[in-house]
Structure 1
Amino acid sequence: MGIMFGNALHFLLFMLLFSPVAFSGRCHPQDKKVLLQIKKDFNSPYLLASWDPKTACCDWYCVECDPKTHRITSLIISSSIPDTNLSGPIPPSVGDLPYLEYLDFHKLPKLTGPIQPAIAKLTKLKSLSITWTNVSGPIPDFLAQLKNLDSLYLSFNNLSGHIPASLSRLPNLLSLNLDRNKLTGPIPASFGFFKKPGPNLFLSHNQLSGPIPSSLGQLDPERIDFSRNKLTGDASLLFAHNKKTQLLDLSRNLLSFDLSKVEFPKSLTWLDLNHNKIHGSIPVGLSAVQNLQQFNVSYNLLSGKIPQGGELGKFDKFSYFHNKNLCGTPLPNCK
């Protein structure tokens, strides 16, 4: 009986010592020092009130630790309060967390200044997200040094200038979100040389101009959103019947090509081409796309009869109107 009790006690002690709960109370002293410096650089905002030097940093809000090494692997600072008192630029001390894999600043309207160069030191980083802030300046070339990045989210900021061609050197990138900024210039031709199938590309709501590089025809990402820019020329290179594209939004640009010659991926669920200068007719093959949930070709230069049957029949006139020579249900009958 005593032996059994002793074994049970040893097992209980083992579980207490090596459980995640036990580990959560630990903290690497160097990481703790860096986090306290970040808090100081942000003028000790209420959002980081749990960052108490008397407690273990792995228990603080906004951070996560590796359960074995107790090094900080995730720093996610986000606020649901519009008037958060966290303000100023991204502190350079952020670059002194060498085991960081996830860095996220979200909904921080008083976060300003450029993307911090010290971020280039975070070589283990898998995801960098700076969204819904007032961070400004160019997208820096040094982000191409973060070879482990699989996600780069820089949406809803005040970033300006050209998109650096060097981003195509990120070998593991799965998603590139640069939408809703003030970016100008062309889409880099180098983007066609991302490792196939290429990352999901979200570049909408900027001021990008020029043609879509022909090299992008080599890629096959699931989602492409180039809407609300000033892109010109032929976008048919993005289509092919054997691609796996699900979402393709090219709306509100200056694109001009013959839609009747396009072969559409059967995987499409979302196709928006409204407000361009696209001509030709709607190909019958588009009606064979079986899972189309969103479709809009309004405000173009299309002509001919709308193909009947299939998925196209479920969309109303607003998906087709303002094409001077387009006719047939749900528009007026052809003459």
Structure 2
Amino acid sequence: MGALSNMEALILRNDNLSGQLPSSLKNCSNKLALLDLGENMFHGLLPSSWIGDSLHQLVILSLQFNNFNGSLPSNLCKIPSSLAHIDRLTMLDLSNNRLYGKIPIGTQLQSFNTSYFEGNSNLCGEPLDNKCPGEEPSKHQVPTTDAGDDNSIFLEAFYMSMGIGFFTSFIH
């Protein structure tokens, strides 16, 4: 557990990993800022019991292009409300999974680019244009600018290179 608690970045993108997210990831809680498990074959529920509560240091969480789903018959998965409690999160990519329901309201979840949620046809709520059943159109729109997109791309690239450098330093 000692090695996991000191890990700052974990990038396992496009590695043909499958199964449910390992619960041992919750032991990375002390310093883990970057978790990129995108483009794998993970399935099952996003673990609401620890993903937002234990991994509260996350800055980047990338889980796109997996197959997160719930139990039958719907076989769909909700975004855990605990993700709204991560106040350092600057990038969250949950696109192209089988997520459904309302995007949890949190300090920054509504400010993320809509592309980070696309490919989840049953997902609704801000920042998406797809309103949830019984939801009134928002009277206050979050202004978007191209500069914000440029900043998020810069931050994503910065943190990815930071993670790669971090892991490279362990190899040598």
TM class, shorter-length: 0.5 to 0.7
The answer for the alignment partner of 2:60 in structure 1 is 175
Distance 1:231 1:262, change over 3 A: farther
For 1:137, the equivalent position in structure 2 comes to 19
Secondary structure of the 2:57 match is: coil
Is contact 2:11–2:37 with CA below 8 Å preserved after alignment? yes
Per the TM alignment, residue 182 of structure 1 is displaced from its structure 2 partner at its CA by 0.4
Shift of 1:259: 5.2
Q: 1:133/1:174 Cα in 2 relative to 1: closer, same or farther (>3 Å)? A: same
Using the alignment, how far apart are the partners of 2:124 and 2:41 within structure 1? 27
For the 8 Å contact 1:153–1:176, the answer to whether it is kept is: yes
- Residue 261 in 1 paired to residue 153 in 2? no
Alpha carbons 1:183, 1:207 under 8 Å: kept: yes
Letter in 2 for 1:178: L
Structure 1: which amino acid aligns with 2:60?
A: S
Amino acid at match of 2:14: W
In structure 2, C-alpha distance between the alignment counterparts of 1:181 and 1:230, rounded to whole Å:
14
How far does residue 200 in structure 1 lie from its aligned partner after superposition?
Answer: 1.2
**Structure 1 residues 148 and 231: alpha-carbon distance in aligned structure 2, compared to 1, 3 A threshold:** same
Q: In the alignment, is the contact (CA less than 8 A) between 2:44 and 2:67 conserved in 1?
A: yes
Q: For 1:116-131, what aligned pairs fall within 5 Å after superposition?
A: 121-131=3-13
**Cα distance in 2 between the residues matched to 1:292 and 1:129:** 24
State the match for 1:116 in structure 2. Answer: none
Asked if 2 retains the 8 angstrom alpha-carbon contact of 1:200 and 1:223, the reply is yes
Residue 199 of structure 1 deviates from its aligned partner by 3.8
Instruction: Give the Cα separation in 1 of the matches to 2:101 and 2:82.
Output: 15
* Segments of 4+ moved more than 6 angstroms: none
Of stretches 254-263 and 129-138 in structure 1, the one that deviates more from structure 2 is 254-263
Gaps of at least 5 residues in structure 1 are 1-94, 99-120, 239-249, 270-290, 294-335
Percent identical residues: 26
In 2, distance between residues paired with 1:144 and 1:153? Answer: 14
Distance 1:164 1:202, change over 3 A: same
TM-score, length-scaled by structure 1: 0.36
Give deviations 1:215-274, integer Å, cap 9, x for gaps.
Answer: x2x236874411110334432xx5xxxxxxxxxxx48xx545665623223x532xxxxx
Counterpart for residue 159 of structure 1: 42
Q: TM-score, normalised by structure 2?
A: 0.66
Question: Is the aligned partner of 1:209 residue 2:100?
Answer: yes
In structure 2, the gaps of 5 or more residues are: 70-76, 150-172
Q: Does 1:200 align with 2:91?
A: yes
Give CA-to-partner distance per residue, 1:50-84, whole Å, 9 cap, x none.
Answer: xxxxxxxxxxxxxxxxxxxxxxxxxxxxxxxxxxx
> Larger strand proportion, structure 1 or 2?
1
Higher relative contact order (CA 8 A, sep 6+): 2
Question: How far apart are the structure 2 equivalents of 1:186 and 1:167?
Answer: 13
Higher Rg of the two aligned structures: 1
Q: Distance in 2 between matches of 1:129 and 1:221?
A: 25
What SS does the aligned partner of 2:10 have? strand
Whole-angstrom distance in 1 between the partners of 2:17 and 2:26: 19
Distance of 1:260 and 1:167 partners within structure 2 = 28
Q: Spell out, residue by residue over 1:91-138, the C-alpha distance to the aligned partner (whole angstroms, 9 max, x if none).
A: xxxx8xx7xxxxxxxxxxxxxxxxxxxxxx432211101111211001
Cα RMSD over matched residues? Answer: 2.9
State the match for 1:188 in structure 2: 80
1:234 aligns with 125
CA distance in 2, matches of 1:160, 1:137: 6
1:153 and 1:221 mapped to 2: Cα distance? Answer: 21
Preserved contact between residue 17 and residue 40 of structure 2 (Cα < 8 Å): yes
Q: Distance in 2 between matches of 1:175 and 1:164?
A: 17
